[in-house]
Amino acid sequence: MGNLGIVTGLAFEARLLRDGDALIDCAGLLPQAGQLAARRVVERGATALMSFGIAGGLDPDLAPGTVIVTSTILPAVSSSRSNPQRWVENVRRRIFGALDRPLAHAARVLATPDEKAALFAATGAAAADMESHGIAEIAAAHGLPFLAVRVIADTAHDRVPSVATKAMTDDGRVRILASVLGALCHPTQIPDLIRLGRQTDTAKAALRALADHPEFYSAA
């Protein structure tokens, strides 16, 4: 596969990856951040691109910790290169037996079950994230293979509290103090915040297991 470039949206996702095994860039949460980060790793010599991190569930049957491995991001990204199905299958089967289901692009965090249900009805995708579509576009523009490895944190049934989203910085970091203060100011959100924290821990454990696997960085 050559030099693997991995783009995450959040800082904690990037910290899970083994330094030295790939070219890593944290995109953050700004619009077009996935594209910009993907361009940076291509400029550093990446010959294949991977989107790595958590996702919001759209399919109501999928639980936190569900791993999705796919090269299909909706809306579809046109490319002259065929989908790297061998890469998808090798990662999915040899490493962790994940689902090969499409992901959908979300321009922002989907905060309510109704928002998630609407995107699921429109796309049928298993989950959604904000970065993968832009990364796939850069891979297509450069004729590089692309793969998304995403783990569901919040499910299709879950509400994402505004306290959590407001505690995120544009560069993908979590402001713990802001989260605590926000919870104190909005105590009705505390149950949702606790649930989201537990589900994110479940997703983080799955991501860590993937990133620690010796074949993860050379699964093609």
Top pLDDT among 44 and 164 is at 44
Residue 170 clears pLDDT 80, i.e. is over it: no
Question: How large is the average pLDDT for residues 31-48?
Answer: 94
Question: What is the average pLDDT value for the chain, to the nearest integer?
Answer: 86
Residue 33 corresponds to which tokens in the numbers above?
Answer: 């951040």
3-class secondary structure, 70:
strand
Whole-model pTM: value is: 0.89
pLDDT for 213 equals 80
91: confidence class by pLDDT, cuts 50, 70, 90: confident
CATH topology of domain 4-160+203-218: Rossmann fold (3.40.50)
Is 68 in contact with 148 (CB distance < 8 Å)?
yes
What share of the chain in percent tops pLDDT 90? 55
The residues near 107 (Cβ < 8 Å, ≥ 6 apart) are 31, 130
CA max distance for the chain:
52
pLDDT for 25 equals 96
pLDDT for 215 equals 75
82: confidence class by pLDDT, cuts 50, 70, 90: very low
Domain ranges for the chain: 4-160+203-218
Count other Cβ atoms within 10 Å, centred on residue 96. 17
Distance in angstroms (rounded) separating the CA atoms of residues 15 and 26? 9
Residue 207 clears pLDDT 90, i.e. is over it: yes
pLDDT for 60 equals 98
pLDDT for 192 equals 79
Top pLDDT among 109 and 187 is at 109
The residues near 55 (Cβ < 8 Å, ≥ 6 apart) are 68, 103, 127, 128, 129, 150, 151, 152, 153
Distance in angstroms (rounded) separating the CA atoms of residues 174 and 169? 6
Burial class (CB in 10 A: 0-12, 13-18, 19+), 181: middle
Question: How large is the average pLDDT for residues 153-168?
Answer: 83
